[in-house]
Structure 1
Amino acid sequence: MIKITATARFYCLLSVGWAMGASLAVAQPTPTPGTPISLNDLSAFKPATANWRIVGSVRADLNKPNTLITGKGTDVLANIPQSNTPPSEKDAQKYNLFTNLQHGDIDLELDYMIAAKSNSGVYLQGRYEVQLFDSWDVRSPRAIDNGSIYERWDPKRPEGQNGYEGHPARQNASRAPGLWQHLKISFQAPRFNANGQKTENARMIRVELNGVVIHEDVELTGPTRAAAFDDEKPLGPIMLQGDHGAVAFRDIRYVAYDKPRPELVNLKYSVYKGKFEKEPEYDRTAPESEGPTQVLSASVTRIPNEFLIRYTGTLRVSEPGEYRLNLGASGGGGMLKINNQTILGPGRSNGRGQATLPKGDLPFELLYSKFVDWARPALGLAIAGPGIREFVISDANGGTGEEVDPIIVDAPTNTILRSFMDMPGEKNTQGRTLRVVHAVSVGSPDGVHYTYDLDKGALIQVWRGSFLDATPMWHDRGDGSSRPMGMVQRMGAPVLFLAKLASPQANWTADTTGSGYRPKGYVLDNEDRPTFRYQSYGASVDDKIRVLSEGKGIQREVTLTNPAGDLYARLISGTSISPIENGMYLVDGQQYVRLDDLNGAKPTVRDANGRQELIVPVKGKVVYSILF
């Protein structure tokens, strides 16, 4: 990984070698929507104490610790503590909730909401905890913080050393209390032999919090602290911790991996020397070498370039159903046939395909033609199927090819980087992902960052965690774009912040036509924080965005000189904007908007094109905060 600091990024010359890999994305499974756990009632769980209930809605008050406010209905599981005093460690287990489901290898995906200052956890097999915690104001996570894998505990160790083997989240990807957060866990259960002896430790293969990878391939030597069981087993329930604080869950889904993997048997290879851009006539072409083998690999030949390897054999399938296959053939092309069906290729260097496979021994054929002289030979094949997590069925070292060393921009001080910025989920007029071409990203040592669109005077995204991945911009020739690395809150397609409206219900200005919009760049304060300047509708505008204390969000102060009449500011848009306590608004359950100083103006929530917008008439100054 290459890290670019605030000072060095403007002056370094990057010499990054061209890399061409087999592009085989395996060993990094991400949960997919699977079997839902019903939240119509508590029947999916073991008998529960009164702190657990099914509700229809839930929200939190930022100023009331350990408190959730619920409404009647179904589809949300809430833990509402019956006392503000946590139970003793001896009594704690009875307040936890266990699924009837007993699982081994599993992908688990859910939404959760944590109350202010609250604490909970998700235990895989009732033994291995991913921590849920109000870590809103944390910059560098510890093992007790949100998304971390909690530590193990040994009371016999010396005082102060009882906790061990905790794994902090890579970065703080948390949302504010009272906002819905999304957790994905790919878990591998411990392995045991026929005598019940453990042969392999459990693993958190991958954990994502709010779209950010915070753990990869973490080995778990035993149960974490406060587990329901001290031993380890092939199966166990999901446990939701209920003895510490208020928390709610919804949309709990899982994919269980409990079926036997397909096997390659009777595998043979033949190597043909030469440049093959199409399949040869085998009865007329003598192989350079041939023989039996145990594994698919490019290393069966030492020819560096211009060769073809043909593998034939049998794929033994125990579980019939739909299978997904991922082929990587670096520096050339490949073709895959199973059961006399062409699944991938011919001639593709990498790709994914799928096939419905019956149970039994199926004919298998794979071709790898290497003809690009500057690429390293690499061949990889991965398979996933019903009840089978994607796994590498080839040489594990042969499928990745060359990898690009990421170019990461940190923000140890206030940092500014101009680049293109893509907006996932937003489309341009050609139906492609919208790209903001005059984007300015501003990083903060507090771990809260934002991107500003100079073409619209618009705040387009804010995020918490690490700053920018500049690999797409600076690797090789680059495409000019960078990517935020933390938990991102996007503001939708950028529009002008200011518009002149005949009434509060008039359509918002679609572009800059008639607005007199002219960007004037930005000026830096003594801490290198920018204030953006532009002209719009005859007014001179200063747009100052600053990080709130403890990194809880950003505050935006927009000041106008000589504002025109009937001028409005569009503060936020969303599917749902609801007023809550303390002059705040909740937007889509994903962010809060706090109105700090509107200079006496009254805000309006209005419907617009199937969405809602929060707008306010401008009287010289607008100050508001986004907490997320």
Structure 2
Amino acid sequence: MLKWYEFRPKLKQLGISPGKALVFMMGVGCSQQLIAQQTIPLTDLSGFKQPAANWRIAGDVNADLQRENTLTTTSGTGILVNLPEKGKHGQDLYTNWQHGDLDLELDYLVSAKSNSGIYLQGRYEIQLLDSWGVLSPRPSDNGGIYERWDNSRPEGQQGYDGHAPRQNASLAPGLWQHMKIAFQAPRFDAAGNKIANAVILKIELNGVTIQENVVLSGPTRGGMENNEVAEGPLRIQGDHGTVAFRNIKMQSYNAPKPELKAVRYAIYKGSFQQPPDFKTIKPIATGEAAQLTSNLTGLPDNEFLVRYTTTLDVKAAGTYDFNLHTSGGGGQLKINDQVLNGSRSRDAKGGITLQPGSYPVEVLYGKNVDWAKPSLTLSVRSAAVREFALSDLNVPADDPTDPILVTATENTVLRSFMDLKGGPRVVHAVSVGSPAKVHYTYDMDHAAPVQAWRGEFLNTTPMWHDRGDGSSRPMGMVRILDNKPAMSLASLASAEAEWPADTTGTAYRPKGYDLDPEGVPSFRFDIYGAAASDSFRVLPGNTGLHRSLQVAGTQDNLYARIAVADSISQLADGTYMIGDKAWYVKMDNSSAKPVIRRQQGKMELIVPVKTAIGYAIIF
């Protein structure tokens, strides 16, 4: 479901005790999932307009880190691949359909030094590039919004209005990357004159927001046309380099938005636990407002009830999902005499199916929590309408919090709790940051690296704001190395024996870490009577991490577990591919030969340890 980008009120949700708050709140009981999504079938090329010979459908695709602009494929379906003939330029690919407002989601894989792009409406390019290891990305890097171009401008200034990604969240060539784009098309009046620019509402790359609310003044360089239109095709660049795509999903928003007409309001003084009989009480103030808002003249700070009455003008039939948020109390929404209620949730939601026409609307907002600031927001969405605000957004935030961010301008070590995506909370986590913007978290309870990431270092707001919960969060593109941490080292009767679930019988004892003159830690621990040292260095070119694990006084049956994933395979050059093309492992030549095995439904990569092993974690 494409629900990742949607309107969010700029308000921290308040937890209000039912005994102290107005409790007639709009609910989720009748709400439906509304956001429909279409997947482009990649069984053949029929979804595209006159595809050239450089485009084909494949079942699998692989890249070689050492071979530029080269992909190899295997037969099958599900993957769209651009393979230009060597020494020649390919041709771009255009969809048969056109789009206006669009949410687009896809996986893509580039080869070494490859260059491609996605042109929204055929005109606005989002760059796809091998930007692996780039420290300070530019508009021409992966996830950048490419520059516009004007030859009449002075030399060196022809390129303008490009937008670099906030940080480099790119992965290595040959790994699947995931991108989400929320695009708002330009707006035109009845005479065809542009009245609003196109906007990139949001781009996420590998789970990291890299662009947000970027206004596009016009088509970028290389667009199919220099004019702007309400609808245009999706275009994929094919004339530069090899690239592959899969899981292409889109959601088009093409229906007219519903509108609220003139709003009347009445303010009542008092603390109300239920909707009152308005015939029996008198308001302290009444009036009209241009929009639904809590910024009303005569509104008390606390202990009040506001009754809004208005009309909803619906232009397209559909099921509409409403989200009402009220600060310091509760609220109720009634449309066409139907109350959308039944919940006391912080964000009150409800859905209703409407035909084109005008419908009476009543909104109630009661507040009796004195420390909260009055604010009300109402948003709506449907399968064909992206979520937007029906109310005034110029309202106070409940509890604005400035984020507390830690940047690693030098080698930085920070201890905290760490919640692994899809896994447990690591309670003795040590996160190590680098000015090369390649970082990792080490689990002291298991003597194991559990995640690595590229980009910015840590958001420590959850740990240090207010009372805090002791946790921090990576700010960059994360690769989970093990979401069910276990000991890095284990004594096994054979290479097929089950890996131990805990430290029982290991005599494991963590002994902290030492810092070298550059501030890089080496973790020390005892296990099975041996003393171990574990250290990590950023690889040249910021392309990953190198781990060096040394053990003194070992026994013959000691193994190190390098990786756990649904799939692990060895590539032709001896490198190991981990997961669904998620990251690589490359063993040092001096290390023993690893073993790929299946244990408890997962694949494991383990290696015998005599005195030391070393390997690269490449991502």
TM-score norm. by structure 1 comes to 0.91
Determine whether 1:383 maps to 2:374.
no
Counterparts of 2:334 and 2:507, CA distance in 1: 62
Asked if 1:237 corresponds to 2:229, the answer is no
- AA in 2 matched with 1:405: D
**Is 2:530 the partner of 1:534?**
no
1:590 corresponds, among 567, 582, 598, to 582
Secondary structure, aligned partner of 1:298: coil
In structure 2, what is the Cα distance between the partners aligned to 1:381 and 1:331? 15
Distance 1:517 1:181 in 2: 38
Give the residue type in structure 1 aligned to 2:431: S
- In the alignment, which residue of structure 1 is the partner of 2:514? 523
Query: Once the 2 structures are TM-superposed, how far is the Cα of residue 361 of structure 1 from its aligned partner?
Result: 3.1
Q: Take 2:56 and 2:379, find their aligned partners in 1: how far apart are those partners?
A: 42
- Whether the 8 Å contact between 2:462 and 2:469 is mirrored in structure 1 is yes
Shift of residue 33 of structure 1?
7.2
CA positional deviation for 1:345: 5.8
SS in 1 for 2:420: strand
Is 1:623 matched up with 2:619? no
Q: 1:496 aligns with which of 471, 487, 490?
A: 487
| Residues 35 and 382, structure 2, Cα contact 8 Å, conserved in 1 | no
SS at match of 2:358: strand
What residue in structure 1 maps to residue 4 of structure 2? none
Gaps of 5+ in 1: 1-18, 24-30, 88-93, 427-433
Superposition deviation, residue 358 in structure 1? 4.4
Report the Cα distance in structure 2 between the residues aligned to 1:43 and 1:399, rounded to whole angstroms: 51
Q: CA deviation at 1:536?
A: 1.1
Paired with 1:122 and 1:459, the residues of 2 have a C-alpha distance of 36
Matched, 1:61 2:60: no
Query: Do the aligned partners of residues 345 and 367 (structure 1) sit closer, same or farther apart at CA in structure 2, a change above 3 Å counting?
Result: farther
Name the residue aligned to 2:440. 450
Separation in 1, partners of 2:532, 2:228: 63
Classify the secondary structure of the residue corresponding to 1:283: coil
Q: Is the partner of 1:473 in helix, strand or coil?
A: helix
Q: Which amino acid aligns with 2:571?
A: I
Q: Is the 1:110–1:252 Cα contact (8 Å) retained in structure 2?
A: yes
Task: Map 1:334-373; keep pairs closer than 5 Å.
Answer: 334-344=331-341, 348-373=345-370
Letter of the aligned partner of 2:254 in structure 1? D
Q: 1:354 to 1:285 in 2, by over 3 A?
A: same
Change (3 A) 1:33 1:417: farther
Which one-letter code corresponds to 1:444 in the other structure?
S
Q: Does the CA contact (< 8 Å) of 1:335 and 1:346 recur in 2?
A: no
Alpha-carbon separation, structure 1, partners of 2:419 and 2:348: 24
CA contact (8 A) 2:438 2:538 kept: yes
Which residue is equivalent to 2:270?
274
Give TM-score, length-normalised by structure 2.
0.92
In 2: Cα distance, 1:337 partner to 1:489 partner: 46
* 1:317, distance to aligned residue in structure 2 (A): 2.6
Match for 1:460: what amino acid? Answer: V
1:131 corresponds in structure 2 to 127
The Cα RMSD (Å) is 1.9
Give the deviation of 1:298 after TM superposition. Answer: 0.7
What letter corresponds to residue 169 of structure 1 in structure 2? P
| Distance (Å, rounded) in 1 between the aligned partners of 2:64 and 2:160 | 34
Note if contact 1:319-1:359 (Cα within 8 Å) is conserved in structure 2: yes
Deviation at 1:246, TM superposition (A): 0.5
Give the secondary structure class of the aligned counterpart of 1:482.
Answer: strand
**Mean CA deviation greater in 163-172 or 511-520:** 511-520
Rate the CA distance shift 1:356–1:336 in 2: closer, same or farther, 3 A.
same
1:350 Cα offset (Å): 2.7
Q: Structure 2 CA distance, aligned partners of 1:346 and 1:525?
A: 57
In 1, distance between residues paired with 2:217 and 2:309?
Answer: 40
Shift of 1:292: 3.4
Offset of 1:266 from its aligned partner?
5.3
Tell me the equivalent position of 1:480: 470
Match of 2:5 in 1: none
Structure 2 residue 180 is matched with structure 1 residue 184: yes
| 3-state DSSP of counterpart to 2:246 | strand
After superposition, the C-alpha distances for 1:152-176 in whole angstroms (9 at most, x for unaligned) are 0111111111100100000000000
> Deviation of residue 32 (structure 1)?
7.0
Q: Does structure 2 conserve the Cα–Cα contact (< 8 Å) formed by 1:598 and 1:619?
A: no
Percentage of pairs with the same residue:
53
Residue aligning to 2:310:
313
Give the equivalent residue in structure 2 for 1:603: 594
Mapped contact 2:374–2:396 kept (Cα < 8 A): no
Give the stretch that moved more between structures: 471-480 or 372-381: 372-381
Which deviates more from structure 2 when the two are superposed, residues 233-242 or residues 360-369?
Answer: 360-369
Would the alpha carbon gap of residues 33 and 566 (structure 1) be closer, same or farther in structure 2, given more than 3 Å must change? farther
Aligned to 1:416: 413
The gaps in structure 2 that reach 5 residues or longer are: 1-9, 15-33
Secondary structure, aligned partner of 2:295: helix
Distance in 1 between residues matched to 2:138 and 2:341, nearest whole Å: 45
Count of residues paired in the alignment: 589
1:257 aligns with 253
CA contact (8 A) 2:36 2:383 kept: no
Deviation at 1:587, TM superposition (A): 1.1
Indicate the residue corresponding to 1:206 in structure 2.
Answer: 202
* CA distance, structure 2, for counterparts of residue 542 and residue 133 of structure 1: 38
**What's the CA shift string for 1:208-246, capped at 9, x where partnerless?**
000100011000000001111111000100000011100
Contact 2:317 2:353 in 1 (8 A): yes
Question: Partners of 1:240 and 1:448 in 2: how far apart?
Answer: 30
Q: Look up the equivalent residue of 1:568 and give its one-letter code.
A: Y
Q: Cα deviations across residues 78-109 of structure 1 (Å, max 9, x unaligned)?
A: 00121335x5xxxxxx7100001100000000
Output the amino acid matched with 1:315: L
Q: How far apart, in 1, do the equivalents of 2:35 and 2:81 lie?
A: 24
2:193 is equivalent to residue 197 of structure 1: yes
CA distance in 1, matches of 2:356, 2:617: 55
Structure 1 residues 372 and 342, CA gap change in structure 2 (3 angstroms) = same
- Counterpart of 2:24 in structure 1 is none
Whichever residue aligns with residue 213 of structure 2, its letter is D
